Chain A
């Protein structure tokens, strides 16, 4: 490759890359402007049970707590805790031990559960108190 061609290639790449970044910004801006996400009215108990049932169809739910403004939920199922966390206008569900849920950090009305996955690092749920006052023995 003659000298100079190398830098020309680098420059072409840089221009293309910058152009692509700008296109990404425009499209994301357009998506935000359009407000065409799925309607996410916040969870109620029935919807939370439905969603948990999709991921854990065989898991019996003993008790269920909905986070403030319906942005997530936590259920007790025997020795397990089932967590439902809002992701954009969708949800992700995870199962962990009940101990992990009770020992999670609770500060300023936020329960911060470490899920320990690269795909799901943590679930932060807003509750008035934790452990919940109505927790069955």
Chain B
């Protein structure tokens, strides 16, 4: 199984690509910023994530095997149509997993790790969660095995998606050809996803195909007039990987201890990140709405607003 794992196979390529990005940036040939402490944290998170993954991999694979035993159809791993189908379905599941991971605090507590860097380079791609297995989002992929895709096939497709998402964590690539930007997730689209600018918050959840964001109303192009500022709404003041891995879980724990009702406890756990009973904190939606109102007020007329790129671009949420 390990021989077929695209992620394990790609590790040497990851390392070489990071070396290349650093050296080319040093020579002034590409755009990339690396801060050594930040790089250490990203790589330590990646290493820790693969160790933590070993602990839960067995349970996850056993669960998908069990579900597969109760499958509805027999899907051959050798058919091209089966690979096309698993590619599309897996990528759509990834979109909804990723959206859930941003919009509900319990899953955000695990995923936030990936967003804690104020940098955006290939090492950021390896800044992965340690608590993904515990967060249980892997359950979202089980229906694929229930339909009848062999668990190994699903695991390979998940790996392909992860490997694809490595190369897009770079500032070295500006924009890809237009047709590519229309269909695929790209460095430009994913830079927006990692940005903390109000306009860019909680946008572009795509794995490989950006079409899901376009379909479900969460797409936001990168604007020339608005450079991405990377990180999270409240940036971390530490490089300690242990703190990075567990800070949001600890914050949830503290909130739960102080919760005054079951409803508050439930919303602290499963509400939007930034929810609080007294409204003293802000969710991404509230930040964006406040920004949009301010940008709207600052805008003399719609025409000039569009030119300066200040037009609020608030899209309605699609039904979840």
- Which residues from chain A sit less than 8 Å from chain B, CB to CB? 13, 17, 20-21, 23-24, 27-28, 30-38, 54-55, 57-58, 85, 87-94, 115, 117-123
Does more than half of chain A's interface fall in helix, strand or loop, or is it mixed? mixed
Please state if A92 and B237 are interface contacts (CB–CB under 8 Å). Answer: yes
- Nearest B residue to A12, CB-CB: B2
**Ordered nearest first, which 9 A-B pairs have the shortest CB separation?**
A120-B237, A90-B118, A119-B247, A92-B237, A31-B34, A34-B26, A32-B36, A118-B250, A92-B235
Is B243 in contact with A20, judged by CB distance below 8 angstroms? no
CA distance A119 to B50 in the complex (A): 22
Chain B residues near A31: list those with CB within 8 A: 22, 34-36, 39, 123
Could you tell me if B236 and A87 are in contact, using CB atoms closer than 8 angstroms? yes
Chain B positions within 8 Å of A, measured between CB atoms, are 15, 18-19, 22-23, 25-26, 32-40, 43-44, 47, 50-51, 54, 118-119, 123, 229, 231, 234-239, 243, 246-248, 250-251, 290-291, 294
Chain A contacts for B238, CB-based, 8 A:
87, 119-121
Our count of residue pairs bridging A and B at CB distance below 8 angstroms stands at 113
Complex partner residue of B237 from A21, A28, A36, A94, CB under 8 angstroms: A94
Instruction: Tell me the smallest distance from the CB of B151 to a CB of chain A, in Å.
Output: 21
* A28 in contact with B234 (CB, 8 Å): no
Q: Which residues of A contact B246 (CB under 8 A)?
A: 118
Tell me the bound Cα distance from A85 to B118 in angstroms. 14
Known contacts A17-B51, A21-B47, A24-B44; A34/B23 CB under 8 A: yes
Complex alpha-carbon distance, A118 and B247, angstroms: 5
Whether B26 contacts A36 by the Cβ 8 Å rule is yes
Q: Identify A118's interface contact among B25, B33, B54, B251, CB under 8 A.
A: B251
